[in-house]
A and B are shown apart, each in its own frame.
Chain A
């Protein structure tokens, strides 16, 4: 197809030809084109199908407000649906597909909806699909779901990458049209650091689309020269292809910069960058958006906004039609007529709703004042229009102007409400705009060029003056002026047929009638009932028309009716851009244990525990099932010695004269009597009396303690301790350091652990049971001088130690411990074996501390000291937490030893029905015990302590199990603790 509608002039580079395709149809365009302008140049007006009625649609606008011309860009995994053809910069090889049709764009099966429209009016979800009720789930909903939505996602992972960045500036200027450029020049010359951002790929805004003169040059040339001046200033950053999509608190703005969207291939570079811009002052120069007029069948391809029609002719050198009519209620429409005529395009008629419009003479056109368009024809392309005064006129393009709406969006993102200005029949930024923001140009309702330029300069002078810069304003910027008279016209009355208000959502004037009649009479209700203003364009062309019509129907003024709330983003932002690099495994950082490299070299299987990656077990050749590995690790540890990296447990170093007092208050049990060189188990409550965390605290010196926390709560416990230290007892002399990552710590457990440690710890250190008994701690050295901390604590129930060295020695420490332990067949064990041994020993862990358990539930009620004040002490006394029949931590073993227990099972007395009323507790942890040769479990059961030996049912509906279990002590293994003390 040739560019049969390409005309002279404009800002496209005809020396280069770009090839692209639309629905497989090959077309050509030039650098400087958008996809929409190139399609128009190729005579392609039909660009999509409407959302609900599948009406053929052409392009309405020439900018980001476009509701109709949404395409899927690129193919395969790179496909991006709902891309506006009007903002897509043309590149060589671009592939675009139309959306929202079955079969083809030309022949859409779903167009049947257009004839069903009486059943699909406002609120049809709630009306049409009511009966029979049984049809909803099986028939209506699947049908609606498959019909709804615009473009479809590829369903594949996005192959592009996205980055995030931060910019700090004195003054952010949003929009590089006449006001924004004037503001940027003034602010830049004052010396302030300035960011000038514009969503377009070409600086200039409307200057590129108009024939105005600035400083006696064509506006586009002046804009180009201004951009060059700005680029030369070191304190100014000009960002094209950058949309400021949201205004946030305290001068922070969100911006999306499209880096490679205009290139055939990203070349591995980030596709878009999400910027967070911190500004001291901002100037909103976002321009204005034209709005249509509602009249019957005003949605045919070929009917577009008047400003868009002249943008296509003036900027892109693409004729929007060959015989054009203009329908307007303001002076701006006449500019389209004269510009098109000046471009050699035949203008057949100008229809102005105003009786008294001052009508310039347009060569070859008839002027109809006080008239209106009441009907149109042409299914896939406009063929003719009918005037109220009678007669059809043959046209293939109709340019419509209902006036301009200032782009107030960003001024309203902090809950500001715009105010109505009757003289321009539009909303302008209201009294409550974001602090330190100024608004200039058309965005402020200053629709004339000279006002925009002077407004931009004044705003920049004020903003830079605020910040102590000296703006220079001696150079005047001369600009031409234009008429901007308007008499508001929202819809053509007394004309039959459907008149569209919101093109993207297929909302007509009649839908607004229905909404008002059925009681949905506020702006927010209207939006939700009719869907006007929803979807990708968020009603940029539709909202004000819809609100004005609602106001008419509810007898309110437009000012009273008000707008809906404006929220970010101004235009759609890809989820991928918001995610940035935080995707998949990079969603959050992975923390590796100090011995990770060693474990990986041994072929360990890893598991994520919080952010940590820990060795779960270490398979050996011949082991085909994980339990073979885990059982071996458990038995080897219990028989000889096992080694496990336990660095992930939280470690907090506590110093100060009042450290003991502090520990006494944050732990439920007492700590004041802990001697130097000793360790004590500590139970921590939340203030409401529920158990929060547990661990051990070792006293290394007079004023020096080391606390351990569970892996999961390391950060939270530290936070709480800082809270207690700073907010509750600010004068206690206590200092905290988080050392979780600073020290690598290993559990060395099993009957041979002492003998193993004797080989690595400094020879003079006496490891005998007498001088270093259970719950002792010391600072010493190991491996010939490495600073070490030694703790004699046991999670496994065996004679065991934990040895800590500075983290950088962690990996070689593991290697050396295993080497030194070769004579004992020292076995590395992972988190599974660790878990099995703790269940065998009856230690509770995260499964038991689920945010509901009290110390009493755990059988540790007496640990909560009544003699002192501690966090959670008072509220742990609440009667409901201290019922006599409270659930108690107990052990459970299957009566039939071959049965596997399941965590989550609930306990019932034998013979009782499996109902919640009969529920007596739950199983929290289970393990296969290689030591005992059967499954064992820990759980909570009412009156648990007094029911040892009783048999109950463990019912697990999820896994379909019902197993008889015997209630036993939770301490399956070495209940007297002789092994760990030995």
Chain B
């Protein structure tokens, strides 16, 4: 596969390490009342769709960016590639 890195252009997927569902960005708050339940879901429950999936890839043999790649798991079409940092900020994460 070829992943179009937002900063570096098209790169072979062999340069990357795959992590999984981009929902891992959404780490819960530790001091919420139901933190245990939320962390359980965050850590152990994942969707595994046959189709469009947002997932985390790490450009380890490159610039060490974490990316959010929107990929169709059935066809391997890559629909969008974003810096995970930007996605995290857009979802309200900061400090």
Contact = CB atoms under 8 A, between A and B. Distances in A.
A719 B2 contact: no
Contacts of B35: 874
Contacts of A252: 1-2
Interface in B11-56: 17, 19, 24-25, 27-31, 35-36, 39-40, 42-44, 56
B70 interface: no
B36 A730 contact: no
Given A719-B17, A723-B19, A874 B25 contact: no
A278 B35 CA distance: 47
A732 interface: yes
Interface string A244-274: 0000111110000000000000000000000
Contacts of A719: 17, 58, 60
A249 B95 contact: no
Contacts of A727: 24-25, 56, 66, 84-85, 87-88, 93
A726 B94 contact: no
B41 to A, nearest CB: 11
B65 to A, nearest CB: 7
A722 B95 contact: no
Using C-beta atoms within 8 Å of the partner chain, give the interface range for chain B. 35 or more
Contacts of A870: 30
A276 to B, nearest CB: 8
A414 B64 CA distance: 30
A730 B30 contact: no
Nearest to A723: B66
Interface in A709-740: 715, 719, 722-723, 726-732
B58 A722 contact: yes
B76 to A, nearest CB: 4
B89 A731 contact: yes
B18 to A, nearest CB: 12
A899 interface: no
Nearest to A874: B39
A216 interface: no
B2 A874 contact: no
A945 interface: no
A950 interface: no
Interface in A222-263: 248-252
Nearest to A728: B27
A729 B66 contact: no
A114 interface: no
A252 B10 CA distance: 13
B43 to A, nearest CB: 5
Given A250-B76, A728-B93, A869-B30, A875 B58 contact: no
Given A726-B85, A729-B93, A874 B36 contact: yes
B39 to A, nearest CB: 4
Looking at B44, B60, B95, which has the most chain A CB atoms within 10 Å of its CB? Answer: B95
A687 interface: yes
A205 interface: no
Contact of B64 (A250, A722, A875, A877): A722
B36 A688 contact: no
Interface string A862-895: 0000000110011101100000000000000000
A658 B88 contact: no
Nearest to B37: A874
A412 to B, nearest CB: 14
A732 B95 contact: yes
Contacts of A873: 30
A722 B94 contact: no
Looking at A249, A732, A877, which has the most chain B CB atoms within 10 Å of its CB? Answer: A249
B94 A729 contact: yes
Contacts of B95: 658, 661, 729, 731-732
Contact of B2 (A278, A688, A729): A278
Contacts of B75: 414
A730 B2 contact: no
Nearest to B86: A730
Contacts of B56: 723, 727
A731 B86 CA distance: 10
Interface string A842-878: 0000000000000000000000000001100111011
Nearest to A688: B43
B39 A726 contact: no
B21 to A, nearest CB: 12
Nearest to B66: A726
Contact of A731 (B30, B78, B94): B94
A730 B85 contact: yes
Contacts of B88: 726-728, 730
Contacts of A878: 36
Looking at B1, B66, B83, B89, which has the most chain A CB atoms within 10 Å of its CB? Answer: B66
B1 A250 contact: yes
A723 B60 CA distance: 11
Contacts of B78: 250
Contacts of A726: 65-66, 83-85, 88
A290 B16 CA distance: 43
Interface in A875-924: 875, 877-878
A688 B41 CA distance: 11
Interface in B50-82: 56, 58, 60, 64-66, 75-78
A730 B93 CA distance: 7
Nearest to A731: B94
A723 B25 CA distance: 9
B25 A728 contact: yes
A755 B92 CA distance: 55
A813 to B, nearest CB: 29
B35 to A, nearest CB: 5
A732 B2 CA distance: 31
A658 B56 CA distance: 25
A726 B36 CA distance: 24
A878 B36 CA distance: 8
A848 B95 CA distance: 34
Nearest to A878: B36
A965 B2 CA distance: 58
A666 to B, nearest CB: 12
B11 to A, nearest CB: 11
A782 B95 CA distance: 40
A875 B24 CA distance: 15
Looking at A252, A730, A869, A878, which has the most chain B CB atoms within 10 Å of its CB? Answer: A730
Interface in A61-103: none
Contacts of A874: 28, 30, 35-36, 39
B2 A723 contact: no
A714 to B, nearest CB: 13
A278 B9 CA distance: 15
Contacts of A248: 1
Nearest to B40: A875
A730 B31 contact: no
Contacts of B85: 726-727, 730
Contacts of B66: 722-723, 726-727
A727 B54 CA distance: 14
A727 B56 CA distance: 10
Interface string A687-703: 11000000000000000
16 contacts: A248-B1, A252-B1, A687-B42, A687-B43, A688-B44, A719-B58, A722-B58, A723-B58, A727-B66, A727-B85, A729-B94, A729-B95, A730-B94, A731-B95, A869-B30, A874-B35
Given A723-B58, A874-B36, A875-B43, 20 more contacts: A248-B1, A249-B2, A278-B2, A687-B27, A719-B17, A722-B64, A723-B19, A723-B66, A726-B85, A726-B88, A728-B27, A728-B88, A729-B94, A729-B95, A730-B85, A731-B94, A869-B31, A874-B30, A874-B39, A875-B40
Interface of B: 1-2, 17, 19, 24-25, 27-31, 35-36, 39-40, 42-44, 56, 58, 60, 64-66, 75-78, 83-85, 87-89, 93-95
A-B pairs with the 3 shortest C-beta distances?
A: A869-B30, A731-B94, A250-B2
Interface of A: 248-252, 278, 414, 435, 658, 661, 687-688, 715, 719, 722-723, 726-732, 869-870, 873-875, 877-878
